[in-house]
Structures are given as C-alpha cells and as structure tokens.
Amino acid sequence: MKRLKGIGVSSGIVIGKAHLFKKDGLVAVRRSIKKDEVGLEISLLNQAKEKTRDDIYKIRGRILEEFGKGFADIFTVHLALLDDPLLLPKVKKRIEEDRVNASFAFSEAVKDAISNLIFSNNKQAVRMIDILHDISEKMLHCLEEQESFTLSEIKEKVVLVVKNLTPSETVQLSKEKVAGIVCSLGGQTSHAAILAQALRIPAVLGVHDAEDTISSGDTIILDGISGTVIINPTPKDRQFFEEKIKRVEKDTKKRASLLHLPSETTDGHKIKLCANIELPEEARLVKEEMVEGIGLFRTEFMFIKRDGMPEEDEQEEVYSMVARKSHPHPVTIRTLDLGGDKLKFVLGQEEENPFLGLRAIRFCLKYKNIFKTQLRAILRASSKGRIRVMFPMVSSQEELTNGLVLLSEAKEELKREGIPFDEEMEVGIMIETPSAAFTTDLLAPLVDFFSIGTNDLIQYTMAIDRVNPELAYLYQPLHPAILRLIKVIVDVAHKNEIWVGMCGEMASDPLYATLLLGFGLDEFSLTWGAIHKIKEVIRTVSYKEAKRLAERALLLDSAQKVEALLKKNFPTELREMIKK
C-alpha cells in the first residue's frame, strides 16, 4: 500500500484498476537545412497548422454542443494562438534565417512564449501555458508524422495515470472508459481540471510521483475531494473509502434536501447566498443549485483568449445569456480585472510588480475604450435581466468617480442611440485594498453596494503575494487586522444604507461562516462546492449567537486564538465539515 497526495480538482471517489499512459514527449531535434529546403519546411509548417486547426475546430464544435460556449472558448484560444502574429510568423522567420527544420523552429518559438509566462503566477498564465503545450504537441505530432494521444488501447474502465493532460486530450476521455484521472502535473486552475469537472470524472492532479509509483493493473483508490490516491490499498483502507463513498452519497442526498430550504438562521435572520463564476456556462447552475444569483462574474476569461479585445456585441451576448440563465436572480458583473501581467502573455512585457501594478480599474481607466466597450455591453445586457456592475481594486474616491463618469457617458451614448438599458442598474465596488477599506465612508455614498474581496484584501493588508507558497503562513483571514477591516466595512456600509457582501474565498469556508454572519454581511458569494455547507451552518446557528461570537473574536489578539474560538463554537453536529 502506498498513499500519494495531490490536488483534488474534480470530486468523487472511485476504486479501480490503474492504466499507466506514457506519453512519448516528442522532442524536436535540430536539423540544418539547405536554402532550397526552406520552402518545403514552411509548407510542412503550414500543413501542420491546417491539420491542427481542423482538429481543434472539430473538438470545439463537439464541446460547444455538449457543454456550451464557456467550455468551447478554451479551444477558441487555441485557434486564436495558431493565428497569433507572434507565433507562426516567428517560426517562419527562424526557418528562413537560421535554416532549421520546421519542428525545431516551432518548438523553440513555443519555448520562448512559455518562458515569458512561466514566472507569472496567475491563473491565466498557467492556462495559456497549458494551451501552448497542447498546440505544440499537436503540431509536433503532425510535423514528425507520429500518431497523437489515443485511448483506443483501453478496453475496460480504468483509472488513467498520466503525466499531464492537455485540454484536447482531456476532452477525449469518456466516463465509460475512464473512472478517474491521476496526473503528476497540473492543478486547480488548469484546463484539465475545468474539463474533468465538466465531464464529471473524478480527478487528482499534481501527484508528483504518480507515474513512477503506479503501474498498470495496480488497484487505485482515488479521492477527488481530498486529493488522495492510494495504491494497492489494505482491506482497512478499502473499507474506509467504501464507507466514505456511502457518506458522500448521503451528503449528496442531504444537499438535495437542503436545496429548497432558505438560508436562514434559527432565529429567522435571512442571508443571501450567491455564487462566483468564471465561465459564462456556469450560470446554468444558478437554477440547479438554487442560489440567489451570481455575486461575482469574473469577466477576464473572455478577454485573454486572443490578441484583440472582444467586441461589444460579443460581450453583450455573453452577459445577456448569463442574465437570462440566472433570471429572476441578479448577476454581478465585475469589470475587467486584467493586469499588466495578464495581458501581455506572448509579448512577455511584464511589470516588475504586477499585483501592485496597472491592474483592474487602474488598467480600465488607462485604456478607456476597452472599459467603455465593456460598460456599454453590460448596460445593453441590463435590459435583458437583472444585472449589477462592480468595479474591482478601487483604491481611491477619485478612481471610483472616474469610473462612474465613464459609466454615465456610456449611458448617455446608449440613450442617444436609442438602445435600452436598465436605468436603475446597481453599481458597486469591491473592497479589496486597505485604502478603500479605510475610506468606505467616502466611497459608500457613491455606490449601491460593497463586495469584500478577501483574496486581495488579505494580500494587500498583510503585504504578501497571495500566490507565493513561502508566505502561505501569513495568509491569515482571521488576523485581527482583517477582522477589524471587515467589521468597519460592514458597519460603514450599513450606516450609509447600502448592502455589503463578500465574494472572496473566506466566505466559502464553513469555519468562518458564523463569524461573518455575526459581522452582519448581507450576501455571501461562494464557490459552488461551498454553498450547501455554508447554508447548513447558517441554518444551524442563531443570529444572536453569531453576533456575540463576532464581538468575542474582535477582542482576541491573534488569528490562532480566533481560530480556536471558532472551532470550539462550531456546531457539533457539523464538525465533519471542518476536518481538514
């Protein structure tokens, strides 16, 4: 028996036989060519591009049909990259100038593009690398005339063990053949993770030793919830996981029974539970999961897929679709949160300090046309459903005012053009910088709501890069500084008669739910997996107790002491939820 740990990215527990899939890892060997061979290499490159494009096009079509535009858009990025003026033209130049074979020139260009992204820790860069690898593998297989990834050799249902899966490989998997996926690379935000969830195949990624430790035929227990992989389990392990499978089934039933119940404390205090989404397609879950709307729609995904920006009509279509799917509940569209690091992927011109750089509203106020296009699209969609708009990373009143001026201009333009929009559309801001948190009294009179973005608020308050693992110990949602800030934000919002929600990850942790409730938050916007848990906690506690707990927490001098207090007061019957 051996136990490996990775990142559970697609939930579900399976017990099955391993199938180790060794990818050949094509390496393009440098070959010098003569002048008269240049034309041939370039035509091979063009043929490979056409073949790759056809393949991706087919995959995209299938995904569009089965899972919708949000997922299909992953492959739109592939298509856009194939036409990127910085990719193939660069390869041609290299073939001509360095007189090297097409496959070598291509793999070098991809390496360059990846090296420009590799130190960027953000999700979009990781995803772009994923897509570059995918295109690279497809192109190299064509150029080297080798057969690409296929699972035709698999005859029975297996747990697939493989180094990594590109997006186009992941979508080839079917639930009939693949019970679960174990990859040694990849993580929560990779396309393989997103697509495995869509395909509903349990998956654990980032299991470092998987390929060296697992052999085909081994019995595997894969727990996509905790990220555990057990090889050749003992009868005791097997029994443990069989029981866990039963518990998960029970949990699923419980979840279903909670769906129709209100998120209300035992003493009748109601709280709105909404969801965070990144892909427009996720909006369909609003009805399935019975949430009260979308508290955060991150719109960056549609902006990173190409060189140019999406047109107003295209954006309007997406926002309207999300609003329609969420109806009658509201959708909170966050305006672009792109940063210098996120935009210039392939160009590789990064800012020294992207998290402190030209990000979010700062970027939008510099590139007003991009911002205006998005605002017009949001306004146009507001006539098709309930839409709210929200500006991220506001750090001064002036910035907010400038954003509001552009919004008014967009409204005036639409009026002149006779295009309808919701005149009453709510406008809010994310509170995610200490400067905004300390000046909520200056900001509140200008908006309809606040949404606390704890992911950034913690990063900027604690002065730590939120994705730096070395500093994870300082990422403390319960730090007295954070708790005091949340308290001030909520109190000032209410004093100014506006509502306040939280869409940062902190809201999705059941351990913190009673405390946040006690602070007086009006809306929690959560990751999908957290909704039923937070609802259950809310339905188990009283608002009166929650307020008392929040008062006590504010008197403590360390995150550790607050955590101990929350654990001690966590509803006994729900303790299973906070076992990490």
- Identify whether 503 is a catalytic site residue: yes
Q: At what angle do helices 123-143 and 69-82 cross, to 10 degrees?
A: 60
**Which 439-458 residues touch Mg ion, going by CB under 5 A?**
453, 456
Binding-residue pattern over the window 122 to 161 for Mg ion, x denoting contact by CB under 5 A: ----------------------------------------
CB of 532 to ligand PEP, least distance (A): 20
Binding-residue pattern over the window 56 to 85 for Mg ion, x denoting contact by CB under 5 A: ------------------------------
Whether 244 contacts 264, CB under 8 Å? no
Residue among 120, 241, 132 at smallest CA distance from 180? 241
In the bound state with ligand PEP, the residue whose beta carbon lies nearer, of 310 and 504, is 504
Half-sphere exposure of 497 (CA within 13 A, CB side): 0
504 contact, one of Mg ion, ligand PEP, none, CB 5-8 Å limit per kind: ligand PEP
- 16 part of the interface to ligand PEP, by CB under 6 A: no
Secondary structure of 161-198 in the HEC alphabet?
A: EECCCCHHHHCCCCCCCEEEEEECCCCCCCHHHHHHHH
In the bound state with ligand PEP, the residue whose beta carbon lies nearer, of 229 and 452, is 452
CB of 305 to Mg ion, least distance (A): 21
Whether 304 contacts 550, CB under 8 Å? no
221 contact, one of ligand PEP, Mg ion, none, CB 5-8 Å limit per kind: none
- 385 part of the interface to ligand PEP, by CB under 6 A: no
Q: What one-character-per-residue DSSP string does 364-389 give?
A: HHHSHHHHHHHHHHHHHHTTSS-EEE
The tokens for 106 are: 């291509």
422 contact, one of ligand PEP, Mg ion, none, CB 5-8 Å limit per kind: none
Strand order from edge to edge, sheet including 219-223 = 2-5, 228-231, 219-223, 13-21, 158-162, 178-183, 203-205, 7-10
Catalytic residue among 191, 329, 479, 532: 191
- Identify whether 364 is a catalytic site residue: no
CB of 166 to ligand PEP, least distance (A): 25
Burial class (CB in 10 A: 0-12, 13-18, 19+), 543: buried
Whether 411 contacts 389, CB under 8 Å? no
Residue written as token pair 């606040």:
450
Secondary structure of 403-445 in the HEC alphabet?
A: HHHHHHHHHHHHHHHCCCCCCCCEEEEEECCHHHHCCHHHHHH
In the bound state with Mg ion, the residue whose beta carbon lies nearer, of 180 and 339, is 339
Interface with ligand PEP (CB under 6 A), residue total: 10
Looking only at the bridges linking them, the beta strands covering 272-277 and 294-298 are: parallel
In the bound state with Mg ion, the residue whose beta carbon lies nearer, of 107 and 454, is 454
Distance of alpha carbon 470 from the chain centroid: 22
- 5 part of the interface to ligand PEP, by CB under 6 A: no
Residue 293 CB: number of other CB atoms within 10 A? 20
- 456 part of the interface to ligand PEP, by CB under 6 A: yes
CB of 456 to ligand PEP, least distance (A): 3
Whether 41 contacts 35, CB under 8 Å? no
Answer for which of 41, 169, 211, 337 binds ligand PEP (CB under 6 A) is 337
**Which helix H or strand E contains 523, and what residues bound it?**
strand 523-526
In the bound state with ligand PEP, the residue whose beta carbon lies nearer, of 129 and 296, is 296
**Which 227-286 residues touch ligand PEP, going by CB under 6 A?**
none
- 299 part of the interface to ligand PEP, by CB under 6 A: no
Tell me how far apart the alpha carbons of residues 357 and 375 are, in angstroms, rounded to a whole number: 22
Whether 194 contacts 188, CB under 8 Å? no
Tell me how far apart the alpha carbons of residues 210 and 460 are, in angstroms, rounded to a whole number: 36
Residue among 535, 541, 536 at smallest CA distance from 514? 541
CB of 296 to ligand PEP, least distance (A): 6
6 contact, one of ligand PEP, Mg ion, none, CB 5-8 Å limit per kind: none
Stretch that binds ligand PEP, among 83-91, 198-206, 366-374, 450-458 (CB under 6 A): 450-458
In the bound state with ligand PEP, the residue whose beta carbon lies nearer, of 161 and 194, is 194
298 contact, one of Mg ion, ligand PEP, none, CB 5-8 Å limit per kind: ligand PEP
In the bound state with ligand PEP, the residue whose beta carbon lies nearer, of 40 and 467, is 467
Tell me how far apart the alpha carbons of residues 560 and 558 are, in angstroms, rounded to a whole number: 5
**Which 394-433 residues touch ligand PEP, going by CB under 6 A?**
432
Tell me how far apart the alpha carbons of residues 532 and 48 are, in angstroms, rounded to a whole number: 48
Answer for which of 107, 315, 454, 508 binds ligand PEP (CB under 6 A) is 454
CB of 45 to ligand PEP, least distance (A): 38
Whether 8 contacts 224, CB under 8 Å? yes
503 contact, one of Mg ion, ligand PEP, none, CB 5-8 Å limit per kind: ligand PEP
- 505 part of the interface to Mg ion, by CB under 5 A: no
- 362 part of the interface to ligand PEP, by CB under 6 A: no
The tokens for 223 are: 């727990």
Answer for which of 186, 504, 510, 520 binds ligand PEP (CB under 6 A) is 504
Answer for which of 173, 503, 530, 577 binds ligand PEP (CB under 6 A) is 503
In the bound state with ligand PEP, the residue whose beta carbon lies nearer, of 326 and 454, is 454
- Helix (H, G, I), strand (E, B), or coil: what is residue 231? strand
In the bound state with ligand PEP, the residue whose beta carbon lies nearer, of 78 and 123, is 123
- 455 part of the interface to ligand PEP, by CB under 6 A: yes
Tell me how far apart the alpha carbons of residues 9 and 128 are, in angstroms, rounded to a whole number: 19
290 contact, one of Mg ion, ligand PEP, none, CB 5-8 Å limit per kind: none
- 428 part of the interface to Mg ion, by CB under 5 A: no
| Interacting residue ranges for Mg ion, rule: CB under 5 A | 432, 453, 456
Active site residues: 191, 503
| Interacting residue ranges for ligand PEP, rule: CB under 6 A | 296, 298, 337, 432, 453-456, 503-504
